[in-house]
Amino acid sequence: MKLLQIPTASLDQRIKEELESNPALEEGEEEFQEVFDLEDSDSDSDSDSDDFELDDYINEYIEDDPISYKLKDNTTSIEEDKNIPYAVERSFHEELERQLGLLNFQDERMQKIAEQIIGSIDDDGYLRRDPLAIIDDLLFSQNIEAEEEEVITMIKRIQRFDPAGVAAKDLQECLLIQLEDKIDRKEENNIEAKALALRILSDYFDEFTKKHYQKLQRSLFISESQLKDAIEEILKLNPKPATSIDSSRRNSTHYIVPDFIISNRDGELELTLNNKNAPDLRINDQYLDMLKSYKHATDGRRSSKKEREAVMFIKQKIDSAKWFIDAILQRQDTLFKTMYSIMQYQKDYFTTGDERRLKPMILKDIADITNLDISTISRVANSKFVQSEFGSRKLKSFFSESLQTMDGEEVSTLEVKNILAEIISNENKKKPLSDEKLKDMLRGRGYNIARRTVAKYREQLNIPVARLRKEL
Protein backbone atom coordinates (compact mmCIF):
# COMPACT_ATOMS: atom_id res chain seq x y z
CA MET A 1 0.00 0.00 0.00
CA LYS A 2 2.87 2.38 0.76
CA LEU A 3 4.51 1.66 -2.60
CA LEU A 4 1.17 2.23 -4.30
CA GLN A 5 0.91 5.74 -2.88
CA ILE A 6 4.34 6.78 -4.17
CA PRO A 7 4.15 8.77 -7.44
CA THR A 8 6.51 7.87 -10.27
CA ALA A 9 8.68 10.92 -9.57
CA SER A 10 9.47 9.58 -6.06
CA LEU A 11 9.66 5.86 -6.85
CA ASP A 12 13.30 6.04 -7.94
CA GLN A 13 14.32 7.36 -4.51
CA ARG A 14 12.38 4.60 -2.74
CA ILE A 15 14.09 1.95 -4.88
CA LYS A 16 17.51 3.46 -4.12
CA GLU A 17 16.75 3.23 -0.39
CA GLU A 18 15.89 -0.45 -0.78
CA LEU A 19 19.04 -1.11 -2.82
CA GLU A 20 21.15 0.53 -0.10
CA SER A 21 19.53 -1.44 2.71
CA ASN A 22 19.44 -4.85 1.01
CA PRO A 23 22.64 -6.17 -0.63
CA ALA A 24 20.72 -9.13 -2.09
CA LEU A 25 18.90 -6.71 -4.40
CA GLU A 26 20.74 -5.13 -7.31
CA GLU A 27 20.06 -3.20 -10.46
CA GLY A 28 21.52 -3.84 -13.87
CA GLU A 29 20.84 -4.90 -17.42
CA GLU A 30 19.31 -8.31 -18.02
CA GLU A 31 21.98 -10.93 -18.46
CA PHE A 32 21.98 -14.68 -19.04
CA GLN A 33 21.74 -16.52 -15.72
CA GLU A 34 22.24 -20.27 -15.46
CA VAL A 35 19.43 -22.11 -13.72
CA PHE A 36 20.94 -24.65 -11.36
CA ASP A 37 19.19 -27.95 -10.73
CA LEU A 38 21.12 -29.81 -8.09
CA GLU A 39 19.96 -33.24 -6.97
CA ASP A 40 19.69 -33.88 -3.25
CA SER A 41 22.54 -36.07 -2.01
CA ASP A 42 21.69 -39.12 0.08
CA SER A 43 23.22 -38.87 3.52
CA ASP A 44 23.04 -41.01 6.63
CA SER A 45 24.26 -38.20 8.84
CA ASP A 46 21.92 -36.80 11.44
CA SER A 47 20.41 -33.35 10.76
CA ASP A 48 18.11 -31.32 12.93
CA SER A 49 14.93 -29.65 11.76
CA ASP A 50 16.79 -26.38 10.99
CA ASP A 51 18.99 -28.21 8.52
CA PHE A 52 15.98 -29.70 6.79
CA GLU A 53 14.26 -26.31 6.55
CA LEU A 54 17.38 -24.65 5.20
CA ASP A 55 17.98 -27.44 2.70
CA ASP A 56 14.39 -27.16 1.48
CA TYR A 57 14.79 -23.44 1.08
CA ILE A 58 18.11 -23.71 -0.72
CA ASN A 59 16.82 -26.32 -3.14
CA GLU A 60 13.66 -24.32 -3.73
CA TYR A 61 15.60 -21.15 -4.48
CA ILE A 62 18.37 -22.74 -6.56
CA GLU A 63 15.79 -24.61 -8.65
CA ASP A 64 13.77 -21.42 -9.10
CA ASP A 65 14.54 -19.35 -12.15
CA PRO A 66 16.38 -16.23 -10.94
CA ILE A 67 15.34 -14.46 -14.16
CA SER A 68 11.76 -14.46 -12.88
CA TYR A 69 12.92 -12.10 -10.15
CA LYS A 70 13.88 -9.29 -12.46
CA LEU A 71 12.03 -6.04 -12.85
CA LYS A 72 12.27 -4.95 -16.45
CA ASP A 73 9.67 -3.75 -18.90
CA ASN A 74 10.94 -2.12 -22.05
CA THR A 75 7.50 -1.74 -23.59
CA THR A 76 5.98 0.79 -21.24
CA SER A 77 8.50 3.57 -20.73
CA ILE A 78 8.17 7.02 -22.24
CA GLU A 79 10.43 7.87 -25.15
CA GLU A 80 13.32 5.52 -24.37
CA ASP A 81 15.86 7.84 -25.98
CA LYS A 82 14.90 10.87 -23.91
CA ASN A 83 15.37 11.79 -20.27
CA ILE A 84 12.66 13.43 -18.23
CA PRO A 85 13.94 16.89 -17.25
CA TYR A 86 13.97 18.08 -13.67
CA ALA A 87 14.29 21.63 -12.41
CA VAL A 88 17.29 22.01 -10.08
CA GLU A 89 17.23 24.92 -7.67
CA ARG A 90 18.47 25.98 -4.24
CA SER A 91 15.91 25.27 -1.55
CA PHE A 92 14.40 28.03 0.59
CA HIS A 93 16.28 27.00 3.73
CA GLU A 94 19.54 26.57 1.82
CA GLU A 95 19.22 30.15 0.58
CA LEU A 96 18.70 31.43 4.13
CA GLU A 97 21.73 29.44 5.30
CA ARG A 98 23.75 30.97 2.45
CA GLN A 99 22.83 34.46 3.61
CA LEU A 100 23.61 33.48 7.19
CA GLY A 101 27.09 32.47 6.07
CA LEU A 102 27.67 36.04 4.83
CA LEU A 103 27.29 37.39 8.37
CA ASN A 104 30.47 37.81 10.39
CA PHE A 105 29.78 36.05 13.68
CA GLN A 106 32.33 36.80 16.39
CA ASP A 107 30.66 34.23 18.63
CA GLU A 108 30.02 30.66 17.38
CA ARG A 109 27.26 30.43 19.99
CA MET A 110 25.24 33.15 18.22
CA GLN A 111 25.70 31.34 14.90
CA LYS A 112 24.22 28.18 16.45
CA ILE A 113 21.25 30.21 17.70
CA ALA A 114 20.73 31.66 14.21
CA GLU A 115 20.94 28.18 12.61
CA GLN A 116 18.33 26.88 15.06
CA ILE A 117 15.98 29.74 14.18
CA ILE A 118 16.37 29.14 10.43
CA GLY A 119 15.73 25.43 10.96
CA SER A 120 12.48 26.31 12.76
CA ILE A 121 11.12 28.42 9.87
CA ASP A 122 8.22 26.76 8.01
CA ASP A 123 8.31 26.05 4.28
CA ASP A 124 6.09 29.08 3.63
CA GLY A 125 8.58 31.39 5.36
CA TYR A 126 6.90 31.86 8.76
CA LEU A 127 8.46 31.32 12.19
CA ARG A 128 5.52 30.02 14.17
CA ARG A 129 7.68 28.70 17.02
CA ASP A 130 7.93 31.26 19.82
CA PRO A 131 11.31 32.36 21.29
CA LEU A 132 10.87 30.35 24.52
CA ALA A 133 10.30 27.14 22.54
CA ILE A 134 13.44 27.88 20.48
CA ILE A 135 15.37 28.36 23.73
CA ASP A 136 14.23 24.90 24.87
CA ASP A 137 15.24 23.43 21.50
CA LEU A 138 18.72 24.95 21.80
CA LEU A 139 19.15 23.55 25.30
CA PHE A 140 18.14 20.01 24.34
CA SER A 141 19.73 19.74 20.89
CA GLN A 142 22.80 22.02 21.17
CA ASN A 143 23.30 22.24 24.96
CA ILE A 144 23.23 26.03 24.57
CA GLU A 145 21.60 28.24 27.21
CA ALA A 146 20.20 31.22 25.32
CA GLU A 147 18.47 34.33 26.63
CA GLU A 148 15.10 35.39 25.21
CA GLU A 149 16.51 38.76 24.22
CA GLU A 150 19.30 37.06 22.22
CA VAL A 151 16.82 34.94 20.30
CA ILE A 152 14.50 37.89 19.59
CA THR A 153 17.45 40.01 18.39
CA MET A 154 18.58 37.24 16.02
CA ILE A 155 15.02 36.75 14.72
CA LYS A 156 14.83 40.45 13.86
CA ARG A 157 18.17 40.18 12.09
CA ILE A 158 16.99 37.19 10.01
CA GLN A 159 13.78 39.05 9.18
CA ARG A 160 15.96 41.44 7.18
CA PHE A 161 17.17 38.61 4.97
CA ASP A 162 15.96 38.27 1.40
CA PRO A 163 13.06 37.82 0.90
CA ALA A 164 11.70 40.48 3.22
CA GLY A 165 9.02 39.15 5.54
CA VAL A 166 10.74 35.87 6.28
CA ALA A 167 10.62 34.60 9.90
CA ALA A 168 7.45 36.56 10.70
CA LYS A 169 5.13 35.02 13.30
CA ASP A 170 1.93 35.76 11.35
CA LEU A 171 0.55 37.42 8.21
CA GLN A 172 0.26 40.86 9.78
CA GLU A 173 3.92 40.93 10.86
CA CYS A 174 4.98 39.49 7.49
CA LEU A 175 3.29 42.28 5.53
CA LEU A 176 4.51 44.96 7.95
CA ILE A 177 8.14 43.82 7.60
CA GLN A 178 7.90 43.95 3.80
CA LEU A 179 6.31 47.39 3.78
CA GLU A 180 8.79 48.78 6.33
CA ASP A 181 11.60 47.39 4.18
CA LYS A 182 10.25 49.28 1.16
CA ILE A 183 9.97 52.51 3.17
CA ASP A 184 13.47 52.06 4.66
CA ARG A 185 14.88 51.70 1.15
CA LYS A 186 13.22 55.05 0.44
CA GLU A 187 11.34 54.07 -2.68
CA GLU A 188 10.22 57.44 -3.99
CA ASN A 189 6.98 56.40 -5.69
CA ASN A 190 3.66 56.43 -3.80
CA ILE A 191 5.19 57.50 -0.46
CA GLU A 192 1.84 58.68 0.95
CA ALA A 193 0.08 55.47 -0.11
CA LYS A 194 2.81 53.37 1.54
CA ALA A 195 2.57 55.34 4.78
CA LEU A 196 -1.22 54.92 4.80
CA ALA A 197 -0.87 51.21 4.03
CA LEU A 198 1.52 50.86 6.98
CA ARG A 199 -1.02 52.47 9.31
CA ILE A 200 -3.82 50.22 8.02
CA LEU A 201 -1.71 47.08 8.61
CA SER A 202 -0.61 48.30 12.05
CA ASP A 203 -3.87 49.62 13.50
CA TYR A 204 -6.74 48.34 11.31
CA PHE A 205 -5.62 44.90 10.17
CA ASP A 206 -8.87 43.19 11.20
CA GLU A 207 -11.00 45.70 9.28
CA PHE A 208 -8.72 45.34 6.25
CA THR A 209 -8.92 41.51 6.15
CA LYS A 210 -12.71 41.67 6.43
CA LYS A 211 -12.89 44.33 3.69
CA HIS A 212 -14.80 46.82 5.82
CA TYR A 213 -13.77 49.61 3.46
CA GLN A 214 -16.34 52.20 4.55
CA LYS A 215 -15.32 51.76 8.18
CA LEU A 216 -11.68 52.29 7.20
CA GLN A 217 -12.54 55.49 5.33
CA ARG A 218 -14.46 56.86 8.32
CA SER A 219 -11.77 55.89 10.86
CA LEU A 220 -8.88 57.26 8.83
CA PHE A 221 -10.73 60.27 7.33
CA ILE A 222 -9.61 59.34 3.81
CA SER A 223 -11.24 59.24 0.39
CA GLU A 224 -12.03 56.11 -1.60
CA SER A 225 -9.17 56.84 -4.02
CA GLN A 226 -6.67 57.20 -1.15
CA LEU A 227 -7.85 53.89 0.31
CA LYS A 228 -7.60 52.25 -3.09
CA ASP A 229 -3.99 53.43 -3.53
CA ALA A 230 -3.04 52.12 -0.07
CA ILE A 231 -4.65 48.72 -0.71
CA GLU A 232 -2.81 48.46 -4.03
CA GLU A 233 0.46 48.87 -2.12
CA ILE A 234 -0.55 46.10 0.29
CA LEU A 235 -1.55 43.78 -2.58
CA LYS A 236 1.98 44.12 -4.00
CA LEU A 237 3.32 42.38 -0.88
CA ASN A 238 3.85 38.63 -0.71
CA PRO A 239 1.86 36.73 1.95
CA LYS A 240 4.16 33.71 1.47
CA PRO A 241 7.72 35.06 1.33
CA ALA A 242 9.28 31.63 0.75
CA THR A 243 7.79 31.55 -2.74
CA SER A 244 9.90 34.54 -3.81
CA ILE A 245 13.32 33.49 -2.56
CA ASP A 246 14.90 34.84 -5.73
CA SER A 247 14.05 35.60 -9.33
CA SER A 248 15.43 32.32 -10.67
CA ARG A 249 13.20 30.34 -8.32
CA ARG A 250 10.14 32.41 -9.21
CA ASN A 251 10.68 31.77 -12.89
CA SER A 252 11.80 28.13 -12.64
CA THR A 253 9.79 25.52 -14.48
CA HIS A 254 8.37 22.68 -12.46
CA TYR A 255 7.86 19.46 -14.34
CA ILE A 256 5.09 17.00 -13.63
CA VAL A 257 6.24 13.44 -14.16
CA PRO A 258 3.14 11.54 -15.33
CA ASP A 259 2.47 8.05 -13.99
CA PHE A 260 0.37 7.12 -17.03
CA ILE A 261 0.36 8.07 -20.70
CA ILE A 262 -2.75 7.82 -22.86
CA SER A 263 -2.28 7.94 -26.63
CA ASN A 264 -5.01 8.18 -29.26
CA ARG A 265 -4.23 5.77 -32.11
CA ASP A 266 -6.80 6.55 -34.80
CA GLY A 267 -9.64 6.69 -32.30
CA GLU A 268 -8.36 3.79 -30.17
CA LEU A 269 -7.03 4.76 -26.74
CA GLU A 270 -3.74 3.17 -25.71
CA LEU A 271 -2.55 3.20 -22.09
CA THR A 272 1.06 2.80 -20.97
CA LEU A 273 2.74 3.06 -17.58
CA ASN A 274 5.70 5.34 -17.07
CA ASN A 275 8.49 3.11 -15.77
CA LYS A 276 11.23 5.59 -16.63
CA ASN A 277 12.22 6.01 -12.98
CA ALA A 278 12.19 2.30 -12.12
CA PRO A 279 15.62 0.70 -12.77
CA ASP A 280 16.03 -2.99 -13.61
CA LEU A 281 15.98 -5.02 -10.41
CA ARG A 282 17.10 -8.58 -9.75
CA ILE A 283 18.50 -10.87 -7.07
CA ASN A 284 22.24 -10.45 -6.60
CA ASP A 285 24.13 -13.38 -8.24
CA GLN A 286 26.61 -13.48 -5.36
CA TYR A 287 23.86 -14.52 -2.97
CA LEU A 288 22.98 -17.46 -5.22
CA ASP A 289 26.67 -18.43 -5.23
CA MET A 290 26.71 -18.29 -1.43
CA LEU A 291 23.81 -20.74 -1.27
CA LYS A 292 25.55 -23.06 -3.75
CA SER A 293 28.75 -22.93 -1.70
CA TYR A 294 26.86 -23.79 1.46
CA LYS A 295 25.08 -26.65 -0.33
CA HIS A 296 28.37 -28.21 -1.45
CA ALA A 297 30.23 -27.52 1.79
CA THR A 298 27.62 -29.24 3.97
CA ASP A 299 26.90 -32.10 1.58
CA GLY A 300 27.15 -35.28 3.67
CA ARG A 301 27.67 -33.60 7.03
CA ARG A 302 25.77 -31.65 9.61
CA SER A 303 26.04 -27.87 9.29
CA SER A 304 27.50 -25.81 12.11
CA LYS A 305 25.62 -23.15 14.04
CA LYS A 306 27.60 -20.34 12.34
CA GLU A 307 26.84 -21.78 8.90
CA ARG A 308 23.13 -21.96 9.69
CA GLU A 309 23.13 -18.38 10.97
CA ALA A 310 24.90 -17.19 7.82
CA VAL A 311 22.39 -18.96 5.56
CA MET A 312 19.48 -17.62 7.60
CA PHE A 313 20.83 -14.10 7.02
CA ILE A 314 21.13 -14.78 3.28
CA LYS A 315 17.61 -16.24 3.26
CA GLN A 316 16.21 -13.15 4.96
CA LYS A 317 17.86 -10.79 2.47
CA ILE A 318 16.78 -12.83 -0.57
CA ASP A 319 13.21 -13.11 0.68
CA SER A 320 13.14 -9.37 1.28
CA ALA A 321 14.48 -8.67 -2.21
CA LYS A 322 11.97 -11.06 -3.83
CA TRP A 323 9.17 -9.44 -1.83
CA PHE A 324 10.21 -5.95 -2.93
CA ILE A 325 10.36 -6.89 -6.62
CA ASP A 326 6.98 -8.63 -6.34
CA ALA A 327 5.55 -5.58 -4.58
CA ILE A 328 6.77 -3.27 -7.37
CA LEU A 329 5.24 -5.57 -10.00
CA GLN A 330 1.98 -5.71 -8.05
CA ARG A 331 2.05 -1.92 -7.81
CA GLN A 332 2.36 -1.66 -11.58
CA ASP A 333 -0.45 -4.16 -12.12
CA THR A 334 -2.77 -2.28 -9.74
CA LEU A 335 -1.92 1.08 -11.32
CA PHE A 336 -2.54 -0.20 -14.83
CA LYS A 337 -5.81 -1.92 -13.91
CA THR A 338 -7.12 1.21 -12.14
CA MET A 339 -6.11 3.68 -14.85
CA TYR A 340 -7.42 1.44 -17.63
CA SER A 341 -10.84 1.36 -15.95
CA ILE A 342 -10.82 5.16 -15.53
CA MET A 343 -9.79 5.59 -19.17
CA GLN A 344 -12.67 3.42 -20.37
CA TYR A 345 -15.15 5.09 -18.02
CA GLN A 346 -14.12 8.57 -19.21
CA LYS A 347 -13.50 7.57 -22.83
CA ASP A 348 -15.56 10.48 -24.16
CA TYR A 349 -13.24 12.96 -22.45
CA PHE A 350 -9.98 11.26 -23.48
CA THR A 351 -11.06 11.17 -27.12
CA THR A 352 -12.41 14.74 -27.28
CA GLY A 353 -10.79 16.73 -24.45
CA ASP A 354 -14.21 18.28 -23.73
CA GLU A 355 -14.64 18.56 -19.94
CA ARG A 356 -18.40 18.62 -20.42
CA ARG A 357 -18.08 14.98 -21.52
CA LEU A 358 -16.73 13.92 -18.13
CA LYS A 359 -19.16 11.49 -16.49
CA PRO A 360 -20.03 11.51 -12.81
CA MET A 361 -17.63 8.96 -11.29
CA ILE A 362 -16.98 7.98 -7.70
CA LEU A 363 -14.36 5.68 -6.17
CA LYS A 364 -16.90 2.87 -5.83
CA ASP A 365 -17.53 2.85 -9.58
CA ILE A 366 -13.88 2.01 -10.32
CA ALA A 367 -13.62 -0.32 -7.31
CA ASP A 368 -16.56 -2.36 -8.65
CA ILE A 369 -15.00 -2.60 -12.13
CA THR A 370 -11.52 -3.58 -10.93
CA ASN A 371 -12.62 -5.69 -7.92
CA LEU A 372 -10.16 -3.66 -5.85
CA ASP A 373 -10.85 -2.07 -2.48
CA ILE A 374 -12.09 1.55 -2.44
CA SER A 375 -9.11 2.53 -0.26
CA THR A 376 -6.77 1.16 -2.94
CA ILE A 377 -8.47 3.23 -5.65
CA SER A 378 -8.25 6.27 -3.39
CA ARG A 379 -4.49 5.79 -2.92
CA VAL A 380 -3.98 5.63 -6.67
CA ALA A 381 -6.22 8.64 -7.39
CA ASN A 382 -4.75 10.97 -4.77
CA SER A 383 -1.11 10.95 -5.86
CA LYS A 384 -0.92 10.07 -9.56
CA PHE A 385 -0.95 12.07 -12.82
CA VAL A 386 -2.05 11.01 -16.29
CA GLN A 387 -0.76 12.59 -19.50
CA SER A 388 -2.90 12.72 -22.61
CA GLU A 389 -2.96 14.88 -25.73
CA PHE A 390 -5.03 17.35 -23.69
CA GLY A 391 -2.39 17.86 -21.00
CA SER A 392 -1.51 16.33 -17.63
CA ARG A 393 -4.13 15.98 -14.91
CA LYS A 394 -4.29 14.50 -11.47
CA LEU A 395 -6.42 11.35 -11.37
CA LYS A 396 -8.38 12.80 -8.47
CA SER A 397 -9.79 15.47 -10.80
CA PHE A 398 -11.72 12.86 -12.79
CA PHE A 399 -13.81 11.84 -9.78
CA SER A 400 -17.01 13.71 -9.06
CA GLU A 401 -20.54 13.16 -7.87
CA SER A 402 -23.61 13.63 -10.03
CA LEU A 403 -26.10 16.47 -10.15
CA GLN A 404 -29.44 16.51 -11.93
CA THR A 405 -30.47 19.10 -14.47
CA MET A 406 -34.00 20.46 -14.65
CA ASP A 407 -34.64 17.86 -17.37
CA GLY A 408 -33.64 15.01 -15.04
CA GLU A 409 -30.32 14.35 -16.80
CA GLU A 410 -27.31 13.51 -14.62
CA VAL A 411 -24.22 15.66 -15.09
CA SER A 412 -20.85 15.76 -13.33
CA THR A 413 -20.42 18.26 -10.52
CA LEU A 414 -17.14 19.21 -12.25
CA GLU A 415 -19.19 20.76 -15.03
CA VAL A 416 -21.24 22.77 -12.52
CA LYS A 417 -18.11 23.93 -10.67
CA ASN A 418 -16.51 25.10 -13.92
CA ILE A 419 -19.60 27.15 -14.79
CA LEU A 420 -19.76 28.54 -11.23
CA ALA A 421 -16.10 29.63 -11.42
CA GLU A 422 -16.75 31.23 -14.82
CA ILE A 423 -19.75 33.21 -13.51
CA ILE A 424 -17.79 34.49 -10.51
CA SER A 425 -14.76 35.45 -12.63
CA ASN A 426 -17.01 37.59 -14.85
CA GLU A 427 -19.00 39.25 -12.04
CA ASN A 428 -18.83 42.95 -11.22
CA LYS A 429 -16.29 43.01 -8.37
CA LYS A 430 -17.80 46.21 -6.98
CA LYS A 431 -21.05 44.28 -6.51
CA PRO A 432 -20.11 40.59 -6.25
CA LEU A 433 -22.87 37.99 -6.52
CA SER A 434 -24.27 36.38 -3.37
CA ASP A 435 -24.71 32.60 -3.15
CA GLU A 436 -28.46 33.10 -3.61
CA LYS A 437 -27.93 35.01 -6.87
CA LEU A 438 -25.40 32.41 -8.04
CA LYS A 439 -27.99 29.72 -7.37
CA ASP A 440 -30.57 31.59 -9.48
CA MET A 441 -28.10 31.98 -12.36
CA LEU A 442 -27.22 28.27 -12.32
CA ARG A 443 -30.89 27.34 -12.22
CA GLY A 444 -31.38 29.66 -15.19
CA ARG A 445 -28.85 27.51 -17.05
CA GLY A 446 -30.83 24.36 -16.26
CA TYR A 447 -29.00 23.05 -13.17
CA ASN A 448 -31.22 21.97 -10.28
CA ILE A 449 -29.11 23.23 -7.37
CA ALA A 450 -29.68 24.53 -3.83
CA ARG A 451 -28.04 27.59 -2.29
CA ARG A 452 -26.14 25.50 0.30
CA THR A 453 -24.75 23.36 -2.56
CA VAL A 454 -23.54 26.53 -4.30
CA ALA A 455 -21.78 27.55 -1.06
CA LYS A 456 -20.20 24.09 -0.81
CA TYR A 457 -18.89 24.13 -4.39
CA ARG A 458 -17.63 27.71 -3.97
CA GLU A 459 -15.65 26.70 -0.88
CA GLN A 460 -14.24 23.66 -2.71
CA LEU A 461 -13.04 26.05 -5.41
CA ASN A 462 -11.37 28.20 -2.70
CA ILE A 463 -13.54 31.18 -3.66
CA PRO A 464 -14.45 33.48 -0.72
CA VAL A 465 -17.93 34.80 0.05
CA ALA A 466 -19.25 37.82 -1.86
CA ARG A 467 -18.20 40.35 0.81
CA LEU A 468 -14.57 39.25 0.62
CA ARG A 469 -14.59 39.35 -3.20
CA LYS A 470 -15.54 43.00 -3.20
CA GLU A 471 -13.08 45.46 -4.71
CA LEU A 472 -12.99 49.26 -4.78
**CATH (residue range 402-469):** 1.10.10.60
Pairing state of beta strands 385-388 and 260-265? Answer: parallel
Give yes or no for residue 98 having a pLDDT over 60: yes
Residues, the chain: 472
**pLDDT level of residue 343 (50, 70, 90 thresholds):** very high
Output the pLDDT for position 54: 55
Q: Cα–Cα–Cα angle for 102, 106, 110, nearest 5°?
A: 80
* Nearest C-alpha neighbor of 241 from the set 112, 362, 120, 121: 121
pLDDT, one tens digit per residue, over 397-443 is 888 877 877 777 777 788 888 889 999 999 998 889 999 999 999 98
Note whether 375 and 386 are within 8 A (CB).
no
**What's phi and psi for 273, nearest 5 deg?**
-90, 145
pLDDT, one tens digit per residue, over 30-69 is 443 333 333 333 434 444 455 545 556 555 555 554 444 4
Domain boundaries, the chain: 92-158, 171-244, 402-469
Output the pLDDT for position 188: 63
Q: pTM for the complete prediction?
A: 0.53
Output the pLDDT for position 263: 92
